Every structure is written in structure tokens, then in C-alpha cells.
Structure 1
């Protein structure tokens, strides 16, 4: 199993930082970025390889590749998304379809989270589980969150377009994907972005569920994390990162 980070996005709401950097390289903890924090998590749980999907300002990631490898002891492969500024992340994850065959812990390049999330996902392996989503079941939800309905048979819905009162929790942007799920997920992602290139990879998860594929969840408990979309989120991320 290896790490996988989606870091192709432009993050326009974080300008002027993202005038020259992808969102995943905006400083969060001193000079450390979400990319740094996530790679540190991967290293702490024993991963020695990771792939990073790059697109917008990809040259900045290439420039830091050797330093990141040296800092975290993780060998990096960069996967290029040729439509990063045009299409949404269903296509971005599909670009890494060959990586999925190795089994991955997938992390969004804008999610600041503690390593306990990776530990929780790894502890949930086994008993036929092929895809496991890190789920915050404690947070009070609003309209913007990626909401999940899950029960004894796994996930039934995953979408932002849901009454928060119906949701079991929020998907935080970190997933464990076993090698056995790679082909099914790649096909579902392809169907998803061909239907609408603006769709999320979580819509690909929904496509899988609609096909009868079971997706499981692992509650992360009451831990501090944030998805960094704007400057308010960045300020919160900086507060949270100081706790790790």
C-alpha cells in the first residue's frame, strides 16, 4: 500500500498564495504545507512510497520533490493531470488509476488532519472491505460539506446536495482503497467525468454504490481537521496544525 495525494487544484479562493502555488503548497505550519503534513502522516504509518497528482502550477511540486523525499523518507511519483484547470477531481483521481492497483491511502491535497485518521483507516482493513471512507460523525453539518449516509450495508449516499439532518457524517477527504477495488473505481470515475467533467470523485463513489459495490466508513472520532478552501479555512488550518 502507498500514499496518494490529489494536488492538482488551483485553489483560486486562496489568492494571492495560489497565484504561484497549487493549493497543496500554501504554507500552513510555518513553512510546512498540506503536502508536508500529509507526507509526514504517511511516513508515520509506515508508507515508503506515494504518488501526487499534479496539474496547476505543477512545476512548484517538481521543484520540491527531492526535498520532500529527503524530509519524509517517502519515494514520490508525480502523476500529471492535463485538465486540472478545466475539469473537477473525478478526472484527477482517474489519472492515478494505475496507482490505485497498488492499494492506496488517498488524501485530498487541501485536508489538514492528524495521523490518527490514517491509523483509523488501516485498522479498518479486512473482512472484505475494499473502500473505506474516513467519516466525521461528530461535526455539525451545513450545506457545503460532503455528506454521507451509511448504515449496516455501507454507504448509500455521498453528496453535498443533501439535507444535513439526513447524513451520518461528513467525508473528510481521506480514503483507504484496496487493490481489489481499483478496476471498478477507475471505471466508475470514467463514467462520472464523461457524464459531467465538473463532478467530484465522490460522485464516482456514488456511481459505485449505485452499481451495488459496497463502500464502508470508519468514524475518526472527535479530532480537529479542516478542508482548506478559503482564507478563513487557512487560518483554522494553521491553528489545527500547531496541535500536531
Structure 2
């Protein structure tokens, strides 16, 4: 199993930082970036390889690759997304379809979270589970969150931002464990998703899988501090949290 980071997005709401950097390389603790924190988590759970999907300002990631490899002891493969500034991340994850066959822990490039999340996902493996989503069942939800309805024995029934928060089981935090046996099904569902509408999220690809009868499981992460960094308010929260990890 290897790590996988989606770091192709432009992050326009974080300008001026993202005038020259992809969102994953915006500093959150001194010189430490979200990408640094994610790679440190991967290393702590024993991963020795990771792939990073790059697009917007990808040269900044290429320039830092050798230093990141040396710092975290992880061999990095960079996967180019040629439509990063045009299409949403269903296509971005599909670009890494060859990597999925190795089994991955997928992390969004804008999620600050503790390594306990990776430990939780790894501990949840087993049986016939093929995709496991890290789920926050503690946080109070609003309209912007990627909400999930899950049922015991059936797994995910719905995953979308477009639902009544009161009906949700919890929030998907942007970290998933994907077993090798799920790779082909997921890649096909992602392709169907972005071909239907290139502006859709990879979570819409997860919903496509559910519609096809594929079970996606969830693993509650407990009461931990994390944040998805979309704007400057989120960045301020990320800087409060990052120093803890």
C-alpha cells in the first residue's frame, strides 16, 4: 500500500498564497505545508512510497520532490493532471488510476489532520471491505460539508454536499483507504462521473459506485481536530491545528 495525495487544484480563495503555489504547498506551521503533514503521516504508518497528483503550479512540487523524499523517507511519483484548472477532482483522481491498483491511502491536499486518521483506517481493514472513508461523526454540520449517510451492514448510502445536515451520519474528511481490488471499479465509476459532468467531485464517483451496488464502508475518526482549507478563515484554523501535530 502507498500514499496518494490530490494536489492539483488552484485554490483561488487562498490568494495571494496560491498565485505562485498549489494549495497543498501553502505554509500552515512555519515552513511546514499541508503536503508536509500528509507525507509525515504516511511515513509514520510505515508507507515508503506515495504518488502526488499535480496540476496547477506543479513546478513548485517538482522543485521540492527531492527534498521531500529525503525528509520523509518516501519515494514520490508525480502524476500530471492536464485539466487541473478546467475540471474538478473526479478527473484528478482518475488520473491516478494506475496507482490505485497498488492500494492507497488517499488524502486530499488541503486537509490538515492527525496521523490517528490513518491509523483508524488501517485498523478498519479486513473482511470484504474495499473502500473505507474516514468519517467525522462528532462535528456539527452545515451546507458546505461533504456529508455522508451510512447504514450498519450496508455502508454509504449517500455522499454529497447537497443534503440536509440533520439527516447525515457525519462528514467525509477527505481521507480514504482504497484496497487494490477496488481499483478497476473505482476508475470506471470516476470516468463515468467526469464524462457526465467534468465539474463533479470524486465523491460523486463514490456515489456512482454505491448506485452500482458497490459497498463503501466508513470508519469514524473520533473527536479529533482537523480542517479542510478552502479559504483564509480555514487557513487560520489550519495553523492553529497544525502546530499540534
CA deviation digits over 1:139-191, x for unaligned, max 9?
00000000000011100000000000000000000000000000000000000
Residue number in structure 2 paired with 1:236: 237
- CA deviation after TM superposition for structure 1 residue 192, in Å: 0.1
SS at match of 1:140: coil
Q: Is 2:196 the counterpart of 1:195?
A: yes
Partners of 2:201 and 2:5 lie apart in 1 by 15
Note the residue ranges of structure 2 that are not aligned, 5 or more in a row.
none
Residue number in structure 2 paired with 1:127: 127
Partners of 1:8 and 1:29 lie apart in 2 by 21
Partners of 1:217 and 1:150 lie apart in 2 by 8
CA deviation digits over 1:207-229, x for unaligned, max 9?
00000000000000000000000
Partners of 1:107 and 1:89 lie apart in 2 by 12
- CA deviation after TM superposition for structure 1 residue 127, in Å: 1.0
1:1-244 correspondence to structure 2 within 5 Å? 1-152=1-152, 153-244=154-245
Partners of 2:196 and 2:219 lie apart in 1 by 29
Q: State the TM-score, normalizing by the size of structure 1.
A: 1.00
SS at match of 1:37: helix
Partners of 2:219 and 2:195 lie apart in 1 by 30
Aligned residue pairs, count: 244
SS at match of 1:141: coil
Partners of 2:198 and 2:103 lie apart in 1 by 25
SS at match of 1:86: coil
SS at match of 1:213: coil
CA RMSD of the aligned region, Å? 0.3
SS at match of 1:65: helix
Moved over 2 A (4+): none
Partners of 1:36 and 1:29 lie apart in 2 by 10
Partners of 1:42 and 1:243 lie apart in 2 by 17
Q: State the TM-score, normalizing by the size of structure 2.
A: 0.99
SS at match of 1:128: coil
CA deviation digits over 1:47-78, x for unaligned, max 9?
00000000000000000000000000000000
